[in-house]
Structure 1
Amino acid sequence: MPIWQGRLRGKQWIVDSSQHGCWLGSYEYDKQLIFEKIITPGSVVFDLGAHVGFYTLLASVLVGSNGKVFAFEPIPKNLFYLKQHLSLNGITNVTAIEAAVSDCSGVVSFEESSSSFQGHISSQGNLQVKTVSLDDLISKGEIPTPDYLKIDVEGAEMQVFSGAKSLLKNAHPTILLAIHGRDVHHQCCQFLTSLGYQLQPIGGKSLKETDELIAYWNR
């Protein structure tokens, strides 16, 4: 059915693929508005932990026909819905990549959850998924250098950063980051500030309390 409101109004959405807020257009509405404010036409966006593609679709609209979006998602069921949403809406500026982004390229165990949002890399997982490093893919010319990273990877944030050190040091993409866990929060903030990023909390909380932030390079 068509999404009811927001920049994705009128886009086709599979109702059972995710939360009802997606087809209502109200899903993470404040975060949507921030996304809309900072993503520029013609830019390159990486959606890490794309789930079924809500932010992938939004990024596709925001970058326009001259921009590109690369959506990384390791869970087959989520990827199926993501590709369906791209097909239903005739989206041609998105490349879907079936992989979890981490610190190196390979294969790892992945633990699925009762919620399709919460799967994560785990030695106890029963699903084998491909992993990729952003630096590795960029150095091989398989993907371009991004202007923006949207990261929601359920605790693997530092593995993503470890596999993207060259990218972050040299290209300084703007980062929209969801953080999972207090220790990971400290590590991410320390790492990003050491590279010269300025951190801004999302959602009205302080930087120390927030679990979502924007990182801008500020040197």
Structure 2
Amino acid sequence: MMKQLRKLLVRTLGFERYIRLVSRVYLRLVEAGWGRQKYPELFFLEQLVKPGFVCIDIGANLGYYSVALSRLVGPQGQVLAVEPIPDFQAIWQDNVRLSGYQNLTLLPYALGGEQKTVQMGTPERDGLLHHGMTKVAASNPQEHYARTYEVPMRVPDELFRNLPRLDFVKCDVEGFEYEVFRHMQGTLRRFQPLIQTELNGLENRRAVANLLAGLGYKPFILSERFELVPCTEAQLSSAVTADFYFQPVSPAPAPELR
């Protein structure tokens, strides 16, 4: 029933107007406290992010995390939102005004290992466009993309090289996380921020966990009791998509000299 309603709304309003409407309604509901059980990670930010923090929202999409982070860091904090898709950037701009703070900066790039133009795509499944699954097309060439975009890519260590502080990183880039973190090691080593990331794909998840372990991080998950608990080997090996938290538990080792 809900799927048919979504298809009807998309046909009636068009894709952009539909996601603009849905995102605005969602943000209003979250502001009123709805969704704590369905989206616990979003509400758990209250336990992690403090006033004055500097945060990076990688894969900002329509601004759900950006709005929450902006409110939590307050006027003395800063949120850098990385979102390469122009249509999503416009909706992000409208949605973040709800935060009431002038502490957000939009970085209109994909992140990866080169400074170049890359193709990203919004997949279509069962007749529906899934804007939240928009990804670098090369990361999953088997996917059917109903919309594609040519966007600029930047290397994260270069993009963030002038940051004076970094406390929290949220990263959700639909299976491209390893490539992002692989080219962000200098920034992570320098600040050792808390990291929250959704890791699609077992190979990608393993690669990220191993990379971050080499930087002094250990993985955690959010328990049903709303607490961070150490991630088990079985959870790391599960095919189920989930958010993982990586906390620094030891100083990052110095990079090897070549």
- State TM-score, norm by structure 1: 0.84
Unaligned segments of structure 1, at least 5 residues: 1-13
Whether 1:85 and 2:95 are equivalent positions in the alignment is yes
Runs (4 or more) in structure 1 with deviation over 4 Å come to 203-206
Counterpart contact for 2:182–2:211, Cα < 8 Å: no
Q: Which amino acid aligns with 1:215?
A: F
CA distance in 2, matches of 1:29, 1:191: 27
Q: Does 1:179 align with 2:194?
A: no
CA contact (8 A) 2:58 2:170 kept: yes
Question: Which residue of structure 1 lines up, in the alignment, with residue 122 of structure 2?
Answer: 112
Is 1:151 the counterpart of 2:171? The answer is yes
Say whether residues 1:188 and 2:208 are aligned partners: yes
Q: In structure 2, the residue corresponding to 1:188 is in which secondary structure?
A: helix
Q: Helix, strand or coil: the match of 1:154?
A: coil
- Judged with a 3 Å threshold, the aligned counterparts in structure 2 of structure 1 residues 194 and 102 are, in CA distance, closer, same or farther, namely same
Tell me the distance in 1 between the aligned counterparts of 2:116 and 2:132.
Answer: 22
Task: Give the superposition deviation at 1:169.
Answer: 1.7
Which structure 2 residue ranges, 5 or more long, are not aligned? 1-18, 124-128, 225-230, 251-258
Name the amino acid aligned to 1:154.
E
Say yes or no: does 1:18 pair with 2:23. yes
User: 1:105 touches 1:136 (CA, 8 Å); kept in 2?
Assistant: no
* Residue identity opposite 2:215 in structure 1: L
Q: C-alpha separation between the residues in 2 aligned to 1:100 and 1:202?
A: 28
SS in 1 for 2:160: helix
Secondary structure at the counterpart of residue 208 of structure 2: helix
Q: 1:92 to 1:156 in 2, by over 3 A?
A: same
CA 1:184 to 1:59, structure 2 compared with 1: closer, same or farther past 3 Å? same
Report % sequence identity: 25
Q: 1:147, 1:174 within 8 Å by CA — same for their partners in 2?
A: yes
AA matched with 2:185: K
- The one-letter code matched in structure 2 to 1:176 is Q
Take 1:39 and 1:79, find their aligned partners in 2: how far apart are those partners?
A: 24
Q: Counterparts in 2 of 1:89-100, with a 5 A limit?
A: 89-100=99-110
Query: Residue 9 of structure 1 aligns with which residue?
Result: none
Classify 1:171/1:88 alpha carbon distance in 2 versus 1 (closer, same or farther; 3 Å): closer
Q: Once structures 1 and 2 are overlaid, which stretch shifts more, 169-178 or 122-131?
A: 122-131
More helix per residue: 1 or 2?
Answer: 2
The answer on whether the counterparts of 2:109 and 2:152 sit within 8 Å (CA) in structure 1 is yes
The residue identity in structure 1 corresponding to 2:220 is: Q
- Secondary structure in 1 aligned to 2:105? strand
Q: CA deviation at 1:91?
A: 3.2
Which aligned pairs between 1:21-32 and structure 2 lie closer than 5 A? 21-25=26-30, 26-27=34-35, 28-32=38-42
SS in structure 1 at match of 2:131: coil
| Structure 1 residue 86, shift from structure 2 partner | 2.5
Q: 8 Å contact 1:73–1:79 — kept in the other structure?
A: yes
RMSD of the TM alignment (CA)? 2.2
